[in-house]
Amino acid sequence: MTNLSPWRATILTLFPEMFPGPLGVSLSGKALASGIWALEARDIRASATDRHRSVDDTPAGGGPGMVLRADILAAAIDAANAPADLPRLLMSPRGRPLTQGYVRQLAAGPGALIVCGRFEGVDQRVIEARQLEEVSIGDYVLSGGEIAAVALIDACVRLLPGVMGKADSGTEESFSEALLEYPQFTRPQTFEGRTIPEILISGDHAKVAAWRRAEAEALTRSRRPDLLSANQKPRKDATEG
């Protein structure tokens, strides 16, 4: 039996060919075919503006890797035209833990728009501007958010009426070296009135490192204080006595 309004997963990814993947077989696949839930995988590169379809740039303040640009990802989110009541999630190792309680909450709603991150992360400004809620499936690092998105969707779909009676999986948030990651930024320097913190473009590497450490500690205190108490207390900045 199909639902009049199926639970809907809209995925924003650089690799739409990864979907439905495992979600197209077994219980989730049967439920997808019968219309209990719906899936749309959208290519973030479709919102790129140059001939190379570039979506990333180097981190503001320096460092390894690349960061997904705020303007490109925002355009991809806007183009998805998701309903206003659809939760907007970003699969991220520093996000809130995906617990069974949260899975039940998502499964009881209309679905989710899920952004799959890549590289070193996503420009902090689009996270704030598009009100993305960061969600993590565990304390480990993946190559991208696609596998995490599959896990989240599978956990939700199996709770939908007509798929399976009970769900019993639970997960925790990803983390590295006892601190959550600091906010990331990249070009453009100004995005929808939000600017990159001046310290990151100052060229002072010591101040950049101190700012990142302070931001990481603040995020960890706010989101995962248990990590600080279970591992170590925050170190003092080099500027402190």
- Which domains, from first to last, does the chain contain? 7-157 (3.40.1280.10)
What digits encode the pLDDT tens for the residues 143-183?
A: 999 999 999 999 999 999 999 854 433 322 233 467 888 99
What digits encode the pLDDT tens for the residues 181-237?
A: 899 999 999 999 999 999 999 999 999 999 999 999 999 999 989 878 766 554 544
Q: Is 133 exposed, middle or buried (0-12, 13-18, 19+ CB in 10 A)?
A: middle
What pLDDT sits at residue 4? 67
Check residue 173 and give left, alpha or beta (phi > 0: left; psi -120 to 50: alpha): beta
Give the pTM: 0.78
Taking 3-state DSSP, the helix, strand and coil percentages for the chain, each rounded to the nearest 5, stand at 35, 20, 45
Do residues 143 and 14 touch, judged by C-beta distance below 8 A? no
Selection from 90, 48, 97, 95 nearest residue 69 by Cα? 48
Mean pLDDT of the region 44-73: 95
What digits encode the pLDDT tens for the residues 111-155?
A: 999 999 988 899 999 999 999 999 999 989 899 999 999 999 999
